[in-house]
């Protein structure tokens, strides 16, 4: 069975809503999912998974600091070649998604889906649909990588 880990953090809940909808999309596509906030997550949670999905909102044109800390924890895992994807809620500039994407590509040498998924503030019904669709696209990429 295909497996994915979603690690995210949030201050006011919007990125968590996205994380749960992406989880649903992955599950509907038959992927087994582990969903954790950064503070409960360890590098071991990324072992033996096909895809790592990271979520952070943008604050002060930056990642939420808990995600920065987790990116250092990720150095302990062997991620080369694994599928990566990033998402996050934002208010006007939304740099966090590109920052996670760049780190997964350039530091961890992962096979990253681009673009990641950025949604304005609290996801609308259409935003939730986009999250589920994003989960399904990640599932599709996992399938392609196994052929
Ligand atoms: C103090 C503060 C700073 C923020 N800075 C940014 C920013 O630099 N760029 C941006 O796009 N959004 C910014 N936002 C908006 C948040 O990214 C937005 O509210 C987002 O939905 C929060 O996600 P969360 O609920 O997952 O924490 C900021 C919000 C606050 C309260």
Rounded (10°) CA dihedral 118, 5, 37, 80: -80
- 140 conformational bin, left if phi > 0, alpha if psi -120 to 50, beta if neither: alpha
Q: Which atom of ligand 1 is nearest to the CA of 62?
A: 8
- Give mean pLDDT, residues 113-121: 98
* Res 147: pLDDT: 84
Asked whether residue 55 is assigned to any structural domain, the reply reads yes
Asked whether residue 146 is assigned to any structural domain, the reply reads no
Q: Which of 52, 42, 47 is nearest to 86 (CA)?
A: 52
CB 79 within 8 A of CB 31: no
Can you read off the two tokens belonging to residue 124? 């609308």
* Res 52: pLDDT: 98
Q: How far is the CA of 131 from the centre of ligand 1 (A)?
A: 19
Write the pLDDT tens digit of every residue in 78-96.
999 999 999 999 999 999 9
Q: How far is the CA of 118 from the centre of ligand 1 (A)?
A: 12
- Give mean pLDDT, residues 108-122: 98
The CATH number assigned to the domain holding 85 equals: 3.40.50.360
For residue 89, what are the domain limits?
3-138
* Res 17: pLDDT: 98
Q: How far is the CA of 65 from the centre of ligand 1 (A)?
A: 13
d(CA 54, CA 89): 12
Q: How far is the CA of 21 from the centre of ligand 1 (A)?
A: 20
Asked whether residue 45 is assigned to any structural domain, the reply reads yes
How many residues would you count in the chain? 147
End-to-end C-alpha distance for the chain, whole angstroms? 14
Asked whether residue 145 is assigned to any structural domain, the reply reads no
Helices (H), the chain: 14-28, 65-73, 96-106, 125-146
In sequence order, the 6+-apart residues with CB closer than 8 A to the CB of 139 are 2, 4, 25, 26, 29, 30, 31
Asked whether residue 25 is assigned to any structural domain, the reply reads yes
* Res 92: pLDDT: 98
- Higher pLDDT, residue 62 or 147: 62
Q: Which atom of ligand 1 is nearest to the CA of 17?
A: 26
Asked whether residue 100 is assigned to any structural domain, the reply reads yes
Write the pLDDT tens digit of every residue in 10-68.
999 999 999 999 999 999 999 999 999 999 999 999 999 999 999 999 999 999 999 99
* Res 54: pLDDT: 99
Q: How far is the CA of 38 from the centre of ligand 1 (A)?
A: 18
What is Dmax (Cα atoms) for the chain? 42
Residue ranges lining ligand 1, Cβ < 6 Å: 10-15, 57-61, 89-94, 121
Asked whether residue 147 is assigned to any structural domain, the reply reads no
Residue closest by Cα to atom 3 of ligand 1 = 59
How many domains does the structure of the chain reveal? 1
Asked whether residue 133 is assigned to any structural domain, the reply reads yes
């Amino acid at each position: 069975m295909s497996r994915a880990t979603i690690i995210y953090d949030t201050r006011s809940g919007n990125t968590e809503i996205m994380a749960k909808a992406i989880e649903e999309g992955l599950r509907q596509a038959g992927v087994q999912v582990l969903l954790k906030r950064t503070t409960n997550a360890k590098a071991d949670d990324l072992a033996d998974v096909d895809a790592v999905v990271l979520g952070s909102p943008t604050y002060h044109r930056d990642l939420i600091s808990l995600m920065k800390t987790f990116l250092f924890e990720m150095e302990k895992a062997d991620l080369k070649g694994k599928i990566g994807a990033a998402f996050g809620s934002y208010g006007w500039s939304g740099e966090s998604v590109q920052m996670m994407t760049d780190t997964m590509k350039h530091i961890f040498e992962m096979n990253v889906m681009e673009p990641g998924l950025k949604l304005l503030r609290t996801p609308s019904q259409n935003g939730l649909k986009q999250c589920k669709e994003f989960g399904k696209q990640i599932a599709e990429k996992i399938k392609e990588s196994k052929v």
